[in-house]
Chains A and B, each alone.
Chain A
Amino acid sequence: MRSPALLAPIVLGALAIACSTSQSPSEPLPPVIAEAGAPGPAAAPTRAAFHRNPFGDVLQSDNLFVDGDFEITGRTDQAPWIVISNQAQGTLDYDTGGRCRSGVRCALIDTTDALVGNIASPSVDDIEINLYVQPTTQRCADASVIALDIGTGDGSGTLQSITTAPDADGWCHFAGKVTNMAYEEPAVYVTIADNAQSKTLHVDQASALPASETPVHGALPPLVPLSAAETARAKFIAAWLRAHRKFGRNAPRTDPR
């Protein structure tokens, strides 16, 4: 991921709480804590407070996800991310604050959901996709992250987590390089894997960049071909989205008052 410095939240604790004059230099400076937020000092505080950019990971301005960080994604309609739940579009649930990996909002899905996020493809380059998922277990394999063309439902492959277990903050980093998808309709869909024990997943901080422009981090895990069930699901999602693409306005009336 680019520019991780933005993601470093700052603990704002220890600010004076008494009536006081303006902030003095003697006030403690905010320590920097880990990206996902839980600092875990020895005293085991109940919580920590820190700052995030409310517009999310905007340092990655050229992110090819329509909205990689869910900060300008709504819960319904033709949003950058939509959730297909029980064979039709559902209402996207959020979680918020430090329970997300970046920004203020992130997606929360359950076993009935497929979370679909739209991406643009470079005209010629491959696409490097990174995305963070937080299972409720210690198994990153509880999540399934699939790249596909939602025009046709053809799957490009399943992205793999870089680690088998979540990091200290509970997040699994899925990454992969997808072959150029120019003039297709690239997307990912995220589900709880069939054999998972997690009942919910948090999804956040997705990025897609031209592969040639991404920093070299070493080899990315290879994409894995879709299973028959995943292929069927991809085809269903594509067909559903194609049949329900909106060409119009919802609001029929302008209120003159």
Chain B
Amino acid sequence: MKEYALFLGCLIPARLPHIEAASIKVLDRLGIKTKDMVDASCCPDPVVMKSLDFNSWLAIAARNLSIAEETGSDILTLCSGCFSTLSKANHLLKYNAELRGEVNKLLSEVNRSFSGKISVKHVVEIIRDIGEETIEQHVKKPLKQLKVASHPGCHLLRPSNILHVDDPNVPTIQDEIVSWVGAEPVNYALKMLCCGVGIKMVDPEANLLLLREKLANLKETEANCIVTPCPFCFTQFDMGQREVSRKFGESYTFPVFYITELLGLALGFSPEEVGLHLHTTPVMEVLK
């Protein structure tokens, strides 16, 4: 049984623990074990800290990588932001000897070091690598009632020359998983548009305009729900729909799934077991 060091980050354990619980259950059912990354901190986030204080961003990311190295396992992360930070930092430090030397001098101050011996994986990559055949063997309740619009988000795919997850312009990784669980993937014109959450703190107005554009496009399709691999995008859709509806006098009520919640339902876990009762936008109607 393959074992990974689970990097929790900040948003999931502190705000969306149902995603943490559901993901651990689903992965376990599929034969993937996870272990704690004891003393890990924020990744740190790839938007705020990296753009304000690159040095600290890299040093703290390197510390987190060194914790995983001590466990001897590759990192599995549930958050696209954490995936972005840890993958990029890992790449920079593996392939830039000068930078690695300087960062290791810093890490030595806290009795740690980076050696570059592990990889960083997002949970959707793990699911994809488990493969269609195995997933379909585990499916107990095909989700035939769902027409799913996949939102890949920004940080899972780019820069593609470092992350190597999927085609950055025409990603299919989530749509494949959606079809493996018996649901129907729905394509839409604005699939690659950002959900807007990354600019929320500096421009709340633009944040809502972006989200509205995306939701309005989805309303023109057959989609009856949204799936995302990112907890920030999840929050933006799940909670932001209400705000957009209020502000623009429109009505958006798409049920939103984090990818392992969708998978968990198909594997036979109850809606409560995957935490659907904790969503802001109601989900149960679409499952009937």
Whether A associates with B in a native complex is: no
